[in-house]
Structure 1
Amino acid sequence: MIRLFSVREKQKKDAAAAANGKTVKQSAGELRLQKDISELDLPKNVSIRFPNGNDKIMNFEITLKPDEGLYKGGAFLFTFAVPTGYPHDPPKVKCVTKVYHPNIDLEGNICLNILREDWKPVLSISAIVYGLTYLFLSPNADDPLNKEAAAMMQQSPAQFERVVSQSVARGCSIGGEFFPAARGDRSG
């Protein structure tokens, strides 16, 4: 009879082995992520960084700099925390840069269907990057996390464009909330 271990049991064994100085095999999630990252063909306006070192790939950052659309000229930092159950479990992605966007709330949560209910193991990090890029090219006011931004986008598109442009370029207060400039590599 074959006994299958849960992910938690494997994590405990790996941690114990690492503490004893033994080499730890990579999890299936790490192997798949390594493959995804090696196959990434990032557009020129997207960069990836591994703040914990290139050998610690389960947590990384993506900076997206839209080169067209309302958010053109901004730099938006996203953190990716990839669970050991990847690709069966989607990465946890947060927007670190405070941005006035109908699909990104003030805590950095992102309304992108492939990060939730439409995630499938055949999807990859590349699919998420393209999904995030699309959110900046075509914000969706019909499925908002920031309801105020969505309402302004629907009711007063010209005002929404002015506010987004101002918030990206110089920063501004909107509804009592300050959105710092999103230019360069600054985040807020």
Structure 2
Amino acid sequence: MIKLFSMKNQKKDGSDVGAPKSGTQKRASAAQLRITKDINELTLPKTCDTEFPDPDDLLTFKLIICPDEGFYRGGRFIFSFKVGPNYPHEPPKVKCETMVYHPNIDLEGNVCLNILREDWKPVLTINSIVYGLQYLFLEPNPEDPLNKEAAEVLQNNRRLFEQNVVKSMKGGYIGNVYFDRCLK
């Protein structure tokens, strides 16, 4: 786990995140301040973890979800987060990097989660998104699909849906689409 510094403490020390090395100070953006607060207050469930490829860049990170129950039990799913300059007034861009057979995640990794679209409010945090994504794996929603085929199978034949999920997580074809193995 990386060591996260609060921007407040760095300001006291006279340093600033993203400050140029030439000695001139650059003020942290509202998005940087808010994401720092969100990450410092993050309480991840035991089935989730974060990775920061660049510890100095809190605006780009990965969330790994490893469900321990439901259809997706035993899988390992990676989501990329890109926090824009208008955060928290706009939600982060979230993509699933793991190709998954899921009614609410399409084959390009787009995620259908209401708080990432029309129901986003600035009071919501990264924690809200983590729990929302985790919930999608516990209770896939065929009523609001991005992958209409998976949603139709879930609605009409729950057993076949479960078989397709297991087959896709082991690595294999569902129809003419190949899924890489994503079991831990």
Same structural fold, with TM-score higher than 0.5 when normalized by the shorter chain: yes
Q: CA RMSD for the aligned pairs?
A: 1.3
Partner of residue 179, structure 1: 179
Cα deviations by residue, 1:75-107 (Å, 9 ceiling, x for unpaired): 000000000111001000000000000000010
Matches within 5 A, 1:115-134: 115-134=116-135
Of structures 1 and 2, the one with the larger relative CO (CA 8 A, separation 6+) is 1
Q: In structure 1, how many angstroms separate the alpha carbons of the residues matched to 2:98 and 2:161? A: 19
What is the alpha-carbon distance in structure 2 between the residues aligned to residue 23 and residue 146 of structure 1? 47
Distance 2:47 2:26 in 1: 36
The Cα offsets for residues 111-153 of structure 1, whole Å up to 9 and x where unpaired, read as: 0000000000000000000000000000000100000100111
Residue 24 of structure 2 corresponds to residue 29 of structure 1:
no
Q: Secondary structure at the match of 1:181?
A: coil
Runs of 5+ in structure 1 lacking a partner? Answer: 1-16
Inter-partner Cα distance in structure 2 for 1:138 and 1:119: 20
TM-score for the superposition, normalised by structure 1 = 0.85
What percentage of aligned pairs have identical amino acids? Answer: 55
- Quote how far apart the aligned CAs of 1:18 are: 4.0
Whole-Å Cα distance in 2 between the matches of residues 56 and 92 of structure 1?
15
Query: Following TM superposition, by how much is the alpha carbon of 1:155 offset from its aligned partner in structure 2, in angstroms?
Result: 1.2
User: 1:126 aligns to what SS in structure 2?
Assistant: helix
TM-score (norm 2): 0.87
Structure 2: 5+ residue runs without aligned partners?
A: 1-18
Deviation at 1:156, TM superposition (A): 1.1
Match of 2:165? 164
Per-residue deviation, 1:22:
2.2
2:92 corresponds in structure 1 to: 91
- Once the two structures are TM-superposed, the CA of residue 20 in structure 1 deviates from its matched residue by 6.0
2:30 is aligned with 1:46: no
- Cα distance per residue 1:28-54 (max 9 Å; x no partner): 1110110000000111110101112x2
> How many residue pairs end up in the alignment?
166
In 1, Cα distance between equivalents of 2:58 and 2:37: 11
State the shift of 1:181 in Å: 1.4
Aligned equivalents of 2:149 and 2:23: distance in 1? 53
Alignment match, 2:5: none
- Map 1:8-157; keep pairs closer than 5 Å: 18=20, 22-52=24-54, 54-157=55-158
CA contact (8 A) 2:167 2:173 kept: no
In 2: Cα distance, 1:71 partner to 1:23 partner: 47
